[in-house]
């Protein structure tokens, strides 16, 4: 079996590779792709694999956009932090999915299911319907977080968060008062749970609150640099592919 993994978090991709090989050492992992753009180019230039393991939320867009730009001719197993409406859609379309964080037993079951239904390819129109459903979905936004601090449980409101950051596979929330708390969530998951009018994913590592932005600097002809409060102690740049969306978000958010 030949497999392509599409996952923008390096740690998650590496864990997925290890779990796939744990299931069957003979599986050949052809490539690990990180974005919609990279994936579209890969599928245009290469023979399609037997199976794709595909994360829904990639660094540059929802992965369903890949299906809008290139015809995918092989089955797909989605990995996703979404639940509710997305999962119902997957079930209706007989497309398998794994909720993050992916566990070995569920991956094994999904791979067995693939072997049982080899040749079942998702229709492009079905994928588009799921994409439309997710984009139009009115999912409730997270209002608060609860984290373990020693032997106590600390609770804070989402409105208290200045920014979220992911480093070395770990995600933390920095509050406006300067306190920081580790979270058992990925940025992909957080991005789908917080209010998009208040938070923006500026790059692969950071999800920032509108209220935390003190200054926006023109860093180069195509980059922006942010001054945040509290100061994260590092250079904060908006990714090139997110600059246009960030400017629009900034304009909308300040009305």
Tell me what the mean pLDDT of segment 177-198 comes to.
89
Q: What is the pLDDT of residues 119-157, one digit of tens each?
A: 556 666 666 666 666 665 555 678 899 898 888 889 999
- Quick one: what percent of the chain has pLDDT higher than 70? 84
The burial class, CB within 10 Å (0-12 / 13-18 / 19+), for 216 is middle
| Residue 130 main-chain phi, psi, to 5 deg | -65, -40
Mean pLDDT for the stretch of residues 33-37: 94
What's residue 101's pLDDT? 82
Q: How far is CA 4 from the centre of its chain?
A: 17
> Which residue segments constitute the domains of the chain, with CATH numbers given?
2-136 (3.40.50.2300), 144-253 (2.40.50.1020)
For residue range 62-107, list pLDDT tens digits in order.
Answer: 888 898 889 888 888 888 776 554 555 555 444 677 887 888 999 9
CA 237, 242, 245, 249 dihedral sign is negative
Within 84-151, strands assigned E span 96-99, 144-149
Closest among 40, 118, 134 to 86, alpha carbons compared: 134
Higher pLDDT pick, 100 / 54: 54
- The whole-number pLDDT of residue 254 equals 45
Q: Looking at residue 230, what is its pLDDT?
A: 95
Q: Please determine, for residue 52, whether its predicted confidence score (pLDDT) is greater than 50.
A: yes
Contact by Cβ (8 Å): 96, 114? yes
């Amino acid at each position: 079996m030949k497999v392509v993994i599409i996952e923008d978090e390096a740690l998650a991709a590496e864990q997925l590779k290890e779990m796939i090989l744990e299931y069957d050492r003979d599986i050949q992992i052809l490539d690990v792709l990180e974005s919609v753009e990279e994936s579209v180019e890969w599928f245009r230039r290469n023979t399609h694999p037997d199976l794709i393991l595909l994360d829904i939320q990639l660094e540059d867009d929802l992965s369903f956009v890949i299906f809008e730009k290139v015809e995918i001719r092989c089955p797909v197993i989605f990995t996703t932090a979404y639940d509710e409406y997305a999962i119902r859609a997957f079930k209706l379309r007989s497309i398998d999915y794994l909720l993050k964080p992916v566990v070995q037993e569920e991956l094994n079951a999904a791979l067995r299911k693939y072997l049982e239904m080899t040749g079942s390819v998702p229709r492009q129109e079905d994928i588009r319907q799921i994409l439309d459903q997710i984009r139009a979905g009115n999912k409730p936004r997270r209002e608060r977080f609860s984290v373990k601090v020693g032997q106590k449980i600390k609770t804070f409101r989402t409105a208290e968060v200045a920014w979220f950051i992911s480093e070395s596979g770990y995600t933390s929330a920095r509050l406006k008062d300067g306190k920081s708390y580790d979270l058992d969530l990925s940025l992909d998951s957080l991005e789908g749970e917080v209010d998009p009018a208040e938070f923006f994913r500026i790059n692969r590592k950071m999800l920032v609150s509108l209220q935390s932005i003190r200054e926006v600097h023109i860093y180069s002809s195509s980059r922006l640099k942010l001054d945040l409060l509290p100061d994260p102690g590092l250079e904060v740049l908006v990714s090139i592919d997110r600059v246009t969306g960030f400017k629009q978000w900034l304009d909308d958010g300040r009305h």
